[in-house]
Every structure is written in C-alpha cells, then in structure tokens.
Structure 1
Amino acid sequence: MTTNIRTAAAGDITESARTLAIAFENYPWTRWIIPEDDYAIRLERLQAVYLTHAVEQGLVLVSDDLAGVAALLPPESSEPAEALQAEIADLMGERGELVFSTQLPQHPEKSWNFATIGVRPESAGQGLGSSIIEKALKRASLSSIPRVSLETSEARNVRLYERHGFVVTHRTEIENGPTVWTMVIEL
C-alpha cells in the first residue's frame, strides 16, 4: 500500500481520536479500563486526551485520510497536565484506581514510548499499519534515542510488532484483566 504518512497537527485530533476509538473498540486493554456505561463516548474522548498530549509532547503520525494513526512519546516527555489527568481518571470512572495500581514494567531508560497505533477496519490488512510503524521507527532512528518500547494486550499485535523487529521483554498477566506484552526494538 502506498499512502502518505505525515505528522499530525492539532486540527487532526478529533478525527484521529475517532479512528483510534473505532480501532480499539474491542481491544482487551480498553475494554478493561473503561466502564461499559457510555463506553464508545469515553473511549473516543480518552483517545483525544492522549492524542492532545502526544501532539504537544511527542510525535503523532497520520495517513492523509486519517484512517491510520500512531503516537510516540520521547523519554523526556512529561506526564499529561493535571487537568488532562483528572479527565483521564473521570473517563475511567471506578476502574481508574485499579488501572493506576496495576504494575507494568517500566519502559527502558532512554526509550521512545510507542503509545498507540490504530487503523480503521476498512483499511486494515492493506499495509497501512505497517507503513505507519515503519515511518515511526524511521523517525525515532533519526533521533538521538534509537530505542522504542511499547505494550500491547492483543496477541496478534505481538506478531505484527515482531515482524518489524520488536522483541518481547516481558509478559504481564493481570488478575481479572488482560495479558500485556512489553516489547522493545533497538534501532
């Protein structure tokens, strides 16, 4: 698939959040962290909050048609602003405390955090996700920090990331929750 992948602007956030919400509708992690009550609305808003932070602090890549979106945060990025953290907690509702108390491995020191990637279902399986991953890894490799880490709670994503050179460094089994694979690539 040949498509233009570009850096997102603030004006792309709303539609990009919609793309991610559609892509993550049945994702194990989001199903676990977001209450069923108004799930779709909460999920889309949560994606918009995270993308707002990523546009400000890191790198958000999108296809021109916004059917594919990825966000990476450099190691020196700060936590979301207090107002955004409060909104995140509100969107997670009663599950927030459980989520924030869950212990996942720390990202390796001096590592980009590949925070998210999603592709609309009608564009899935056509190479768009791989194109975005390749562009993201290329951008990270040009920085002074040639390492990228991520987490996924979808087994088929593990295989996708492995095809791009990531290796599993940890597997976390969350009691009454999803399995989370931590992965790293040295560029």
Structure 2
Amino acid sequence: MRLHALSPPSTEHTIIREATAEDVENAADTLTAAFVDYPFTRHTIAADDHEARLREFQHLFLSEIGLPHGRVWVSDGLDAVAVWSTPGGDAGPALERLLPCMVEIAGDRAHAHSSAEAAMEPHRPQGPAWFLGTVGVRPSAQGRGLGRAVIEPGLAAADAEGLPAFLETSTEGNVRVYEALGFEITAEYDLPGGGPRTWAMLRRPARSRG
C-alpha cells in the first residue's frame, strides 16, 4: 500500500504542518484526487466504484495507520499530504486488523493486491526505516512544489534519528523527483499479473551520506 503521485518540485514557499484528526476527511479527498489514475491503485483496487473504493482506502490509511502509528504532514489548505510509517509506530497489529477491510476495498483485484505486496516485500528494508507510505498533491495544486514540501519534514525527522527513509513508486516520472531528494533506486521490477513497473528507493540518513 505504498502510493505516490507527485509533480516536479518548484521553489514556491508554503506552510507545512502536522495533520490532526480534523484533517482526515479533506486529506482523504486530496489523496483520492491525486491517485485516481495512479498505475498501482488501478492495478490493485477494483474498477467498479473505483473512486469511492480509493477514497475509503485513503481514509483508512490516514485515520488508522498514519495518524495513530506514524507521522502525517499536510500543506496549509490540505492540497498536499504525506503519510509516513515510523519504526516506533508498530502499525503491524493495525494492518492485520484492517486486512478484511482492505480485501473488501480491493474487490475483484484482491488477489492482485496481495500478489503485489508479496512481490514488494523482499525489496523493503530489513532494519528500522522511515517508510513514506503515501504522498499526493491535488491535481489543481500540482507544479507548486507542494509534494516536496510535505515530504521534507519526514526526511528531517529520519535524519535526526539517524535512520534511512524508504519508498516505492509506480510512476517513472516520480523517480527523478525522489532522486533530487537524495533517494537511490534499490530495485526495479514489474508487479505480477500485468502490474505496473515499480521502483524501490532508499535514502540514507544525512550524516552517512557525508
């Protein structure tokens, strides 16, 4: 469930803050708009009522994983959202509890979703890492640097803990954006069942990068 929909960064200044429970509804709307045509979610969530299913997925990820077990940053106005899983968050039990809901959301793509997760798992860090689970920008706000802006506080927090940051993306254009933030490609592969090409990327903590 690692999703990314970004546009290239710019230098425009914006206010970034940590999200609260009151932000969940609008943040879910933003992520839904950002991912409605994203290759990974199109592959792993049923086409039937796709947008409604996608919104339910984003809402659950924000309210049940990101806020209670990780860190979430948003732009002022909620045009951009970044959701991180953190090493101390212990989201495992919550993910297990939510599995039946995720299967229902995936609908007739449930097998594709489970196959994708199985294919991605071997490429994920074995040790502690900050995991950028979801980041997206509302289409009407793209091109203003908001994606980069909501990601950077998480990178700073990972650096402060001396830990790497990790992500997966299924859009080749995103790779260049992440490389500009210090991420390096650690794996490149096609998801099974005709799924999209996916990149695993790792960013070492600042002090280890010299």
TM-score, structure 2 normalization: 0.84
2:18 to 7, 27, 35: 7
| 1:140 positional shift | 1.9
Q: Distance in 2 between matches of 1:50 and 1:145?
A: 26
Q: Which whole-Å CA distance do the structure 2 matches of 1:152 and 1:186 have between them?
A: 17
Confirm or deny that 1:90 pairs with 2:104. yes
Matched-pair contact (CA < 8 Å) for 2:82–2:136? yes
Match of 1:22 in 2: 33
Q: Percent identity?
A: 37
Compute the displacement of 1:83 (Å).
4.2
Aligned residue number for residue 57 of structure 2:
46
Q: Match of 2:154, SS?
A: helix
In the alignment, what sits opposite 2:203? 185
Q: Which moved more, 1:73-82 or 1:160-169?
A: 73-82
CA distance in structure 2 between the aligned counterparts of 1:133 and 1:82, rounded to whole angstroms: 26
Which string of whole-angstrom CA distances, capped at 9 and with x for unpartnered residues, describes residues 28-54 of structure 1?
000101111000000011001111111
Inter-partner Cα distance in structure 2 for 1:120 and 1:11: 18
Partners of 1:129 and 1:101 in 2: how far apart?
28
Structure with the larger RCO, 1 or 2 (CA within 8 Å, 6+ apart): 2
- Which structure carries more helix by proportion? 2
TM normalised by structure 1 equals 0.94
More displaced 10-residue stretch of structure 1: 154-163 or 2-11: 2-11
Alignment coverage as a number of residue pairs: 186
Distance 2:159 2:85 in 1: 14
* Correspondence 1:140 to 2:158: yes
Listed as ranges, the matches of 1:164-183 within 5 Å are 164-175=181-192, 176-183=194-201
Report the equivalent of 2:139: 121
Alpha carbons 2:187, 2:199 under 8 Å: kept: yes
Query: After superposition, where does 1:144-155 map in structure 2 within 5 Å?
Result: 144-155=161-172
Alpha-carbon distance between aligned partners in 2 of 1:71 and 1:41, rounded to the nearest angstrom: 20
**77-86 or 13-22: bigger deviation:** 77-86
The CA distance in 1 between the partners of 2:87 and 2:27, in whole Å, is: 23
Aligned-partner SS, 1:60: strand
Deviations along 1:115-158, one digit per CA (max 9) or x if unpaired, are 0110011111111111112222112222x242100000000000
Separation of aligned partners in 1, 2:158 and 2:74: 15
Q: What is the root-mean-square deviation of aligned Cα atoms in Å? A: 1.3
User: Quick check: 2:45–2:113 contact (8 Å CA) kept in 1?
Assistant: no
Where does residue 62 of structure 1 map in the other structure? Answer: 74
Paired AA for residue 63 in structure 1: S
Which residues of structure 1 form unaligned runs of 5+?
Answer: none
Structure 1 runs, 4 residues or longer, greater than 4 Å off: none
Unaligned runs of at least 5 residues, structure 2: 1-11, 206-210
SS in 2 for 1:32: helix
Indicate the residue corresponding to 2:113 in structure 1.
99
Aligned to 1:78: 91
What code does the residue aligned with 2:171 have? E
Letter in 1 for 2:58: Q
